Structure 1
Amino acid sequence: MNLNQLADGDERVVREYRYDDGVVIAADLGPVADADVDVLADTAIVVTGTDGDEEQIEIDLPGEDAEVFMKNGVLTIELEDEA
C-alpha cells in the first residue's frame, strides 16, 4: 500500500498500527470540512476540498476486504491479518 501521496499534504499525519489480528492505518487529513472516501474494488478514493480546489488521492488496498471510513477528518483503513 502506497501512502506517500496521502502523507504529502501539509499538517497530515499518517500512522500505522499493527495488532495480532490485523493492521489499522489512520491519516489525519487536517481541518478539512469537505472530505469523502469511496472504495472501488481494491482502491480507496479520497476527495478533499471544495469545488475548484479539490484534491483526489487514490490508495491501493491489499484486497477487497478492507474497512475504510472517515470521521472528523481522520481517514481510517482497517485490514484483517491474512494468517
Structure 2
Amino acid sequence: MEYLKYILLLSILSLSGCAAVYTDASDANHVTFLNSDGESIASLMQKANSYCAQYGKTASFRKSDTQLVAVFDCNWPQASPR
C-alpha cells in the first residue's frame, strides 16, 4: 500500500510540471506563476487575466525574476476618458 502513495505522488508532480501554474502566493493584488515549461508571457497574460477577473480586475505584467517565475499585478480597470 505504501508504494501506491509514492506512485500517486509522482503522478501528481509529473503532471504539475507540464504547465504553468499560479502559486499560493497569488491573491487579489497579484498572481505569481511557476513557469516550468517556458510558456510565453502572452500566454501567461491570458491566464493571469482569467485569475484577476474573479476579483473584477485586469492583469498587468510586473516582472520575471527568472525563467521559471513570472509575476502579474491585478489592477482595477481604468475608467474610459469622456
Q: Please state which structure has a larger fraction of its residues in strand.
A: 1
- Which structure has the larger Rg over C-alpha atoms? 2
TM-score normalised by structure 1 residue count: 0.39
TM-score normalised by structure 2 residue count: 0.39
By relative contact order (CA 8 Å, sep 6+), the higher-ranking structure is: 1
